[in-house]
Amino acid sequence: MTDISPVTPKDIPALLQMIRKLCAFHGDACLMGLSDTQAQFIDGPLVGLIARKNGAVAGYAALEPHWRPMHTGPQLDIAHLFVKEPLRGHGIGKALITAAREQAKRVNACRLVIGTSPVNPGAAAAYRAMGLEEMTGPRGARFEVAL
């Protein structure tokens, strides 16, 4: 069973560990520490969702709000979506996207989008398989989640 909940202060160490793994996958150095992560997800602008499979942390989504003057609600970007390696392909990513969609509706978002890196064709294929609307661009595929 997969449970999704908002990030809490006690989740910060596990969240940071997953952020570091995602950064490493993309060849980036993660400069954030525990206090930076807490500032962004607890005190700051990001909304974090933690996935647990049978009680163990399995993945996360980071939602980033963007204000647009031409819309009445914010646009939410799923800035990060990460599922631990042995748990991929078990519906956890889909559950995180569903929870992100519910969050977007709660805040009256005008749009919810998720992008992929060109070096991660598996993610793009998964989003296509979920039926998300594709909006291709020069920096990789982007997908809109229907609200």
pLDDT score for 79: 93
Number of separate domains in the chain: 1
Give me the pLDDT at residue 138, please. Answer: 67
Q: What is the predicted pLDDT for the residue at 114?
A: 92
CATH code of the domain in which 30 resides = 3.40.630.30
The confidence score (pLDDT) of residue 84 equals 96
Q: Which range marks the domain in which residue 24 is found? A: 2-145
Per-run averaged pLDDT (10 residues), the chain, 147 residues: 95 97 91 95 95 96 88 88 93 95 93 85 86 77 80
What string of DSSP letters covers 16-82? Answer: HHHHHHHHHHTTPPP---HHHHHIIIIISS-EEEEEEETTEEEEEEEEEEE--TTSSS-EEEEEEEE
Long-range contacts of 21-27 (CB under 8 A, 24+ apart): 21/82, 21/84, 22/80, 22/82, 25/120, 26/117, 26/119
Strand order in the sheet with 140-145: 2-6, 47-53, 56-66, 75-83, 111-115, 140-145, 133-137
